[in-house]
Structure 1
Amino acid sequence: MAAEPAVVLSVDPIRSMQAEAQHSGRASWGHWGDQPDRYDSWSNHSNRLVPVYTFGMTLQSVTGKNSVYRSAKDLARLYGRVPDNTLNPTANYCDQTDVYRLQQEAVAVGKTRIILLVFDGMDWTTTRTAAIATTGTVAYREGRGTGLSFQDYRGAPTDYGACVTSPANSGTLFDVDAQAIHNPGGTAAGGYDPLRGGVSPWDAGGDLRYLMGRSREQPHAVTDSAASATSLFTGRKTYNDAINVDVRGNPIEPAAAMLQRQGWAIGVVSSVPVSHATPACTYANNVSRDDYQDIARDLLGLKSISHKTDPLPGVDVLIGGGFGVDVENDQGQGRNFEPGNKYVADSTLQEIDSAVGGRYRMALRTPGQSGATVLAKAAAEAVAGKHRLFGFFGIPEGNLPFQTADGDSIPVNAPPESPDTQDALKKKYSVGSPYTPADINENPTLADMTRAALDVLGTKQRFWLMVEPGDVDWACHANNIDNCIGAIRSGDAAFRAVVEWIERTDTWNTTVVILTSDHGHLFVLTEPEAFATPD
């Protein structure tokens, strides 16, 4: 069984560190971006290599001599061309599209359970920072590392590597209503230059401007979560904003939908809205990641803008955030947008409810009731009644409450008028006010959601499950290292829930677990010891 790492910090110094850095605008122990004298100069993604951990299989078929980055022919197939300065005859890293190929390999050798954990926005540096904060020691400076459950678990054959996340391109324009692309190829092409980005995730020689996509000499596009998740689940590079469509807007069938046609059950779990980019890419098709209500229709088996006459069958389990986020207008969702819930249209919620003849047993955030209890009860009733399961929770921002580094949910607040939130992304993803007791009680944790999904899917002979600790990305956009560490630890708890289920059911011989990220951010850790236990 994966043992829970003990947090050794007896007070909350990391919250204090974040608060001081946020207030003063600088920190000796680290910074976000390429400006060491400014704590928060970059709030977006980066082209850093990100980690890949496998359990129940190895990475041998896609790394080392088998890396696509060693072959011009393979790169041309992957990107549609050989990107500048990307061919690397000694590359040991793989591409995130190889995660799709690993899933294919697992099926080919007879695996009947595929579980992916996609830590949105987590890279090697933030993983290491979380490991140091968890154990209180600076235990490694390169490699797989130790301190978190997914780093230390050895209950199954396991492997570790790194992958490239760059998209086919950025800057593509599209029409949501027509589901059409205006400028295939966009404005900036993808690729990965190891001399600028680093040959490993811990390579200290990386050009930070390059990793931000701001190098004038080599401006490779930086991915968003939609293009990267499409790569993970379909094996295809595409443009930023795409949900399982290619660079020309043609639909691509993801692994989950393909397996569903072969009789597999499908589950999707996220700590952020259920129709956000990563959960969307497990199953839906859309030219725009922002067309949330139509994406939810795809996920839940209803007619959508992409499947007007022949809807997708829908997933068996969908659990995540977005509850209570109501808006009157949203131009990004096209003419068929319905005022009400932003992420799942109110009419969709009504139609899918098993209480009125729909296919889903509903578990919604309920005033005065424990979210974990509401969800577990609904999962049991879904199994008993042979229903699917839909869980809808969250706070007004759409996500589950952030866990922070010390395990509580008391993040540093950044009110909209604060200088820390003048940046649009930081303003969007910063915590604006303290959580209420109801926010904590009425929402399950990501681990609770994972257990509920496994309770339902575990009754099936074959299943595919994706679990997303999506709040890692939100914390990084907010330049909040306290929330980032807590979100990684929350995802680590979900990993433990997965392996505990596998061990309890004695199914490692038929199960593969792949844990990775869709992209990195750009936190630079300059004093690792600051996150360790004081003497």
Structure 2
Amino acid sequence: MHPNSGIRFCVSCLALLLIVEFWQPVFAQGSDPIAKMQADAVATRRADWGHWGPNPKTYSSWKTHSNRLIPVYTFGIDLRSVCGQNSLYRDATAIEALYGFLPDETLNPEAEYFDQTDVYRLQKSAIESGKKRVILFVFDGMDWDTTRVAAIAKSGKIYDEGRGEGLHFLDYRGAMTDFGYCVTSPRTEGTRVNVDDQTVVNPEGKVPGGYHAALGGDAPWRPITDAEYPIGKSKQTVHAFAESSATATSMTCGIKTYNDAMNVDFMGREVLPIARTLQNEDFAIGVVTSVPISHATPGCAYANNVHRNDYQDLTRDLIGRPSIFHPGGLPGVDVLIGGGWGIDKDKDAAQGKNYVPGNKYIAADDLAAIDVNNGGEYVVALRTSGVAGPDVLTEAVQKAKQNHKRLFGFFGAQAGHLPFQTADGNYDPVVSYGNQKPVKAEVYSKADLHENVKLKDAALAAIEVLDSRSDRWWLMIESGDVDWANHSNNIDNSIGAVLSGDEAFATIVEWIERNGGWDETALILTADHGHYFTLDRPEAFVPTTTEP
């Protein structure tokens, strides 16, 4: 035996052990075809059934957002006032008023699509028409292809255009319903800010927004003629693609603004979100998310800030505590339920000089101040060791209703989000792909699954408390894990996240039908932006059954 052979053997064994540890979740998924498809695609960087990004020859060539048109589904109201002949993209003057300039190649006299800011106007119109309950349901990052692959995986029904079928929100016909698609491009990309001063350094940014339908497609299922256009790299026309805070601001305030803005205009000036307008008219206000409580989308439901990453200050606005933007404090929302539990950091430069070491999303003093046990206004439901999350939340709901108090729910697993559901309905993700390499899958403990809630639990809890506080209320629900899955180029997680949100939709619809129906309710279900997944072979996701 060679004197070094034992060392080589040990090194080889160690390497094998590391490989086994990294891919262990994959080995456990032998009977889960979509998990295997995801794992194989990451291992080979190829998949004949789909790809992420502009390069169809590799499974992943892009891991962030795109400028695609995104779907909008309405229930209890229709889209006639904003689409087709009423699309602002048919009117140069309206486009210029919206962006503050006329973007290149954006005027389209035949546009059927509308703008994301119209989602704000639809909510206003719903209230003006007499609706007493408005729900804005945001599947963060869910574009048309993401929806389609989830629908096919669930139902086995393949479609190639239009609204489609196979999910609760695609199929539901118990109310007036409509389907359309909108432009999500921001006003600008490349704006710099100072979070300590809450000022904008370069108001005009670097890259203008807009939408060129001939390059990106005039409907979500139409061919993209320039693969680089949706990611702002076209050699013909360059338009900024969106991120979640600018798009959420469009839906809550009805304006175009710079990427990373939270309910402020391109100059950094405060814009009033619809929730605060309605609160002034005695509406109860609720915010629910599957990701941290003050991420871009839930934060934009109520707060103001020049940058989306100032998490503790955004939470302060949400819960009515003095913040950097509102030293006197806002009234705060009636219900806030989401993630962020257990995510502690000693430092966070992105949050400025007033960051308080500890939980990244809510300072300990703020949490203590809002608790009814300390004289605050909120019944606080925290992830609790050894106690089922739904039980913790249900008990808090009952206390809030009985004592006419507000509700704050704080849960989460590894990165602060609720555990990721996979396509088979379990919570066992496999390997993702990011930063040009495989990324180890999250693994949840029994405690993670037992002590957390599902999005449907949080949504129903919010509705019950809101309805006990007022017969008029506004609620934002965010299925934020769709975006996280798509950033990770993980089709298994992406499908699971859509199905989890769809389950929450079905739960909400059941409550509405048992509580007065749709005469006084409007629900808008949409995404804040798209990613860049292309489904090349839909039949690969049709469920198969094996005879015993």
TM-score relative to the length of structure 2 = 0.93
Spell out, residue by residue over 1:62-113, the C-alpha distance to the aligned partner (whole angstroms, 9 max, x if none).
0000001000011011100111000000100010100000011011111100
1:4 maps to which residue?
none
Q: Which amino acid aligns with 2:435?
A: Q
**Structure 1: runs of 5 or more not aligned:** 1-8, 415-419
2-side partners of 1:327 and 1:432: how far apart?
22
1:282-301 matched pairs, under 5 angstroms: 282-301=301-320
1-side partners of 2:503 and 2:204: how far apart?
40
Is the counterpart of residue 519 in structure 1 residue 529 in structure 2? yes
1:228 maps to which residue?
247
2-side partners of 1:222 and 1:235: how far apart?
18
2-side partners of 1:10 and 1:318: how far apart?
39
Is the counterpart of residue 250 in structure 1 residue 269 in structure 2? yes
Superposition CA RMSD, Å: 1.4
**Displacement of 1:422 after TM fit?**
2.9
Alignment match of 1:166 (pick from 158, 173, 185)? 185
1:132-147 matched pairs, under 5 angstroms: 132-138=152-158, 140-147=159-166
Q: Sort the Cα spacing of 1:381 and 1:206 in 2 relative to 1 into closer, same or farther, 3 A.
A: farther
Paired residues of 2:429 and 2:441 also in contact (CA < 8 A): no
2-side partners of 1:209 and 1:444: how far apart?
40
1:271-282 matched pairs, under 5 angstroms: 271-282=290-301
Paired residues of 1:380 and 1:455 also in contact (CA < 8 A): no
Q: Which amino acid aligns with 1:397?
A: A
1:489 maps to which residue?
499
Alignment match of 2:384 (pick from 357, 366, 370)? 366
2-side partners of 1:206 and 1:290: how far apart?
35
1:108 maps to which residue?
128
1:184-223 matched pairs, under 5 angstroms: 184-223=203-242
**Displacement of 1:34 after TM fit?**
1.0
State the SS of the aligned residue for 1:208.
Answer: coil
Alignment match of 2:47 (pick from 27, 41, 46)? 27
1-side partners of 2:344 and 2:206: how far apart?
34
**Displacement of 1:432 after TM fit?**
4.2
2:113 maps to which residue?
93
2:78 maps to which residue?
58
Spell out, residue by residue over 1:386-439, the C-alpha distance to the aligned partner (whole angstroms, 9 max, x if none).
11000000012011001011100110035xxxxx3335xx88xx6643111111
Alignment match of 2:414 (pick from 391, 396, 403)? 396
Alignment match of 2:486 (pick from 470, 473, 476)? 476
State the SS of the aligned residue for 1:399.
Answer: coil
2:284 maps to which residue?
265
Q: Which amino acid aligns with 1:13?
A: P
Paired residues of 2:216 and 2:223 also in contact (CA < 8 A): no
2-side partners of 1:52 and 1:164: how far apart?
11
Alignment match of 1:333 (pick from 347, 351, 371)? 351
State the SS of the aligned residue for 2:368.
Answer: helix
**Displacement of 1:530 after TM fit?**
0.4
State the SS of the aligned residue for 2:489.
Answer: coil
**Displacement of 1:373 after TM fit?**
1.1
1:353 maps to which residue?
371
Is the counterpart of residue 463 in structure 1 residue 473 in structure 2? yes
Is the counterpart of residue 72 in structure 1 residue 92 in structure 2? yes
Q: Sort the Cα spacing of 1:370 and 1:431 in 2 relative to 1 into closer, same or farther, 3 A.
A: farther
Paired residues of 1:137 and 1:529 also in contact (CA < 8 A): no
State the SS of the aligned residue for 1:262.
Answer: coil
Report % sequence identity: 56
Q: Which amino acid aligns with 1:121?
A: G
1-side partners of 2:30 and 2:145: how far apart?
24
Paired residues of 1:172 and 1:181 also in contact (CA < 8 A): yes
Q: Which amino acid aligns with 1:495?
A: F
Q: Sort the Cα spacing of 1:328 and 1:360 in 2 relative to 1 into closer, same or farther, 3 A.
A: same
Q: Sort the Cα spacing of 1:229 and 1:142 in 2 relative to 1 into closer, same or farther, 3 A.
A: same
Spell out, residue by residue over 1:134-190, the C-alpha distance to the aligned partner (whole angstroms, 9 max, x if none).
01231x110000000000000100000000000000000000000000000100000
Spell out, residue by residue over 1:312-362, the C-alpha distance to the aligned partner (whole angstroms, 9 max, x if none).
100000000000000010000000000000011111111111111011000
Is the counterpart of residue 531 in structure 1 residue 541 in structure 2? yes
**Displacement of 1:11 after TM fit?**
4.1
Paired residues of 2:117 and 2:251 also in contact (CA < 8 A): yes
> Higher mean Cα deviation, 210-219 or 403-412?
210-219
**Displacement of 1:385 after TM fit?**
1.2
Paired residues of 2:149 and 2:541 also in contact (CA < 8 A): yes
2-side partners of 1:474 and 1:433: how far apart?
12
Q: Which amino acid aligns with 2:202?
A: N
Alignment match of 1:155 (pick from 148, 162, 174)? 174
State the SS of the aligned residue for 1:59.
Answer: coil
1-side partners of 2:67 and 2:134: how far apart?
27
Which segments of structure 1 move beyond 2 Å, counting only runs of 4 or more?
Answer: 205-208, 420-423, 430-433
**Displacement of 1:37 after TM fit?**
1.5
1-side partners of 2:442 and 2:265: how far apart?
40
1:447 maps to which residue?
456
> Higher mean Cα deviation, 142-151 or 216-225?
216-225
State the SS of the aligned residue for 1:343.
Answer: coil
State the SS of the aligned residue for 2:519.
Answer: helix
**Displacement of 1:207 after TM fit?**
2.2
